Amino acid sequence: MFQAIHETVEYIKKKTDHFKPEIGIILGTGLGDLVGEIEVAYSLMYPNIPNFPISTLEFHSGKLIFGTLNGKKVVAMQGRLHYYEGYSMQQITFPVRVMKALGISYLFVSNAAGSLNPDFKKGDLMVINDHINLQLESPLRGHNDADMGPRFPDMSEPYNRKLIADALSIAAAEGITCHQGVYVSVTGPNLETKAEYKYLRIIGGDAVGMSTVPEVIVANHMKLPVFAVSVLTDEGFPEILHPFSLEDILETARVAEPKMTKILSQLIATL
């Protein structure tokens, strides 16, 4: 993996005139418009980057964006990768290791998720303060390179407390409904049954999705502070469960995205 990371980083440096980002951003399903707030300096398509996995979803554009957001140099993944697409956990998290090697000091992650908490409604935001990993394996499975991180990384604070507090303060000042809670990560791509939604709520989940946790584990492995936020695009309440509609989820994400963008951009400006 070290050789692959080195090869990818050297290619990116040549294509971006050695642009050194301070902050990495991963944009989730239907949440790619934050790129519109970035003063773009360079844009690289995933298929052109050596060793970089390619997003297979038609609603993920698959671009690595370099530029400036509120005075900070950023690199943004416009289109993330998922385990259900057929990639290994190491492939999914490879971009995080590349961004770290490029120089980032913080990782910001967004996703679309289903609400499990009856107090959290569709269209609300939820800052993630902890997670439950129900995916099949860890991205740290296998040989550990001590130069990247420890064999047994601590996960007692996977999401940075100060960034959480600052984000909630920004949301309150802007009049944005923003909760904090526990994100449950599942494999997908199918959504959950009524019994599964009930189970996920019983074990402590406030929202459920199919991403984020692998990247967060790897970021913690490399001692990168993480901030993550979910746009709640549907409601997994067993008593009133409705059939899944991708179009409805994408529309909810589109409507809620400006609120998320406002919080992220202002939070980034404080760093």
DSSP state of 131: E
Q: What is the largest distance, in Å, between two alpha-carbon atoms of the chain?
A: 55
Residue 163 lies in domain: 2-269
- Predicted pLDDT at 22: 98
pLDDT of residue 32: 76
Confidence of residue 228 (pLDDT cuts 50, 70, 90): very high
pLDDT digits (tens, 9 = 90+) for 51-107: 998 876 655 568 999 999 999 999 999 988 999 999 999 999 999 999 999 999 999
Q: What is the pLDDT of residue 61?
A: 67
Residue 191, CB-side half-sphere exposure with 13 Å CA sphere:
22
Q: In this prediction, what percent of the chain has a pLDDT beyond 90?
A: 86
In percent, how much of the chain has pLDDT > 70?
A: 97
Phi and psi at residue 4, to the nearest 5°: -65, -45
* 143-185 pLDDT per residue, tens: 999 999 999 999 999 999 999 999 999 999 999 999 999 999 9
Report how far residue 184's alpha carbon sits from residue 191's, in angstroms, rounded to the nearest whole number: 13
The pLDDT of 243-247, averaged and rounded, is 85
Q: pLDDT for 26-40, tens place per residue?
A: 998 767 778 889 999
Total domains in the fold of the chain: 1
Give whole-number Cα distances, 178 to 54, 169, 259, 260, 261, in Å. 32, 10, 9, 9, 13
- Position 34 scores a pLDDT of 86
Return mean pLDDT, the chain.
94
Q: What is the pTM of this model?
A: 0.95
Q: Does the pLDDT at position 6 exceed 90?
A: yes
Output the domain CATH number for residue 229: 3.40.50.1580
- Using DSSP bridges, classify how beta strands 63-69 and 72-78 pair: parallel, antiparallel or unpaired: antiparallel
